[in-house]
Structure formats: structure tokens, C-alpha cells
Amino acid sequence: MTRIDRKFADLRAQGRKAFVAYVMAGDPDFDTSLELIRGLPGAGVDIIEMGLPFTDPMADGPTIQLAGQRALEAGQTLDRTLAMARAFREEDDTTPIVLMGYYNPIYARGVARFLEQAKEAGIDGLIVVDLPPEEDDELCIPAQAAGLNFIRLATPTTDDRRLPKVLQNTSGFVYYVSITGITGAAAAQAGDVGPEVSRIKAQTDLPVIVGFGIRSPESARAIAAVADGAVVGTAIVKLVEEGRPVPEILDFVKGLADGAHSA
């Protein structure tokens, strides 16, 4: 079992939903970003999604794009992102970390070398948004052989013909994108999400976590009530963009986590 598998088993045993927080690694700088990431478990975060900054983030809205630019300008690299995971693991060996990004930096590093380094750094899963199931031999299958979960996105446009292909080699959890479009584009609606989550769960035993468009404790609670948990990214990253101090950001995260956990 991976840390992700163990986390969901623990949550099920407690009758609790998951709260997942996304932050961009290295935004606005290495030290601030590491301080924030280290504080997330204490704020109630069950799983950390750590964004790997990339120059052409096609699935991300303006807030996440700018976060990636800030991180790159501050000198964030793949190596520094893995170093951040290692530093986190010095204090926390249980909270799962999912690295979320694009294939280019991984391809440039070399898949085998990257997977070895990611595993050694304490990464538990990957979300690589620009690798479709047709390319599973590129990274998905090797990642799972290396002991990392490969988490796939399903969207409102993933119809019943496409869904089995999407689920085929997915592990850890399924990330359901609640809206059509880029991150931060619209608000998630539980009434729309619930039937879609049920449709996915009819075809898999994996937890279904919902992200995109969740900005408040109330929306985190509403979404978690119809899924296995909620993901928040843009609303957190926006506070980093505004230069809010880390304790203030963590207070905001705790409110979101409390919302999801109360579902």
C-alpha cells in the first residue's frame, strides 16, 4: 500500500471525507513554499498536491499560471521541487504527496531516473495532465511498477465510452474535474457533481475526489458530501499571490479542511 492508499483506508475507518490542498512548489520562493507545505497537515490537509512549475501549463487558469511563473523566476526546478519533498519528509513521513504537472520536465529528466528520484524524495503519486491513457506505457505503467500511484483526471466530457479507458490503469484515487475549462474558471455545483461522481463510482472502487471551483468551507462541505473528498488549489494560491503571511494562509486552509471534514 502507498501512503495514499493508507490515508484513504484511515479516512474510511473514521467515516471522514478527504481534504486535498494544492500549492505550487517554490511559490513565491523556496523557503516560504516549504514553510507553507510543512504547515498543511497541521491545518487539516489529508493529501498534499505539489505543483511542478512549467512554462506552458495549458490546463491551468491565470492564478496557477502566475504561480508557476513566480516559482520559475525564483529558481524553482525539478531538483529543487524534489528537495522540497525530501525536506518535508524529514518532519512528516505519513502525509501523502502527489506531484502534479506536465510531462515535459519528466521526459527531459528521463522516466526511469525521474521515478527513482521521486520515490527516494518521498513522492507518493503523480498527476500528469497532458498524458492520455493511450500513452500509459510512457509513464503510468512504469510509475506504478515503481510503487507510485498514477492518478487520472475525469471531466464532465468523459462519457461512458471513454470512462473505462480513463480508469483502466488509474490508482490511488480518481480526480474528478467539476467544471469544463481551466482551473479557477467557475464555481463547482454539488447538484451537478453528485450524479457524475456516482457514475464514476459505478465503474471503480477507487475514491473519487472533486476539484476545480471550490473556494469556501461551505463549497468544500457541499462537494465532499457528494464525493470522497474535495481539492482546493486556486483559492489557496491566490493568497500566496497576494503576499499573505503563511499563518494566515494556513488559517484559511484549516477552514476549508474543516468544511470538507464536516460533510
In eight-state DSSP terms, residue 99 is E
| Rounded distance between C-alpha atoms, residue 167 and residue 208, angstroms | 11
59 contacts 183 by C-beta, under 8 angstroms: yes
46 catalytically annotated: no
- Indicate which residue of 5, 27, 49, 241 is catalytic: 49
Bridge partners for 255 per DSSP: none
| Rounded distance between C-alpha atoms, residue 232 and residue 244, angstroms | 17
Nearest-10 crossing angle of helices 234-241, 246-261: 170
158 contacts 166 by C-beta, under 8 angstroms: yes
3-class secondary-structure state, position 22:
strand
Q: How far is CA 174 from its chain centroid?
A: 11
9 contacts 179 by C-beta, under 8 angstroms: no
251-256-257 Cα angle (round to 5): 95
5 catalytically annotated: no
| Rounded distance between C-alpha atoms, residue 139 and residue 207, angstroms | 22
- Indicate which residue of 5, 27, 46, 60 is catalytic: 60
Positions marked catalytic: 49, 60
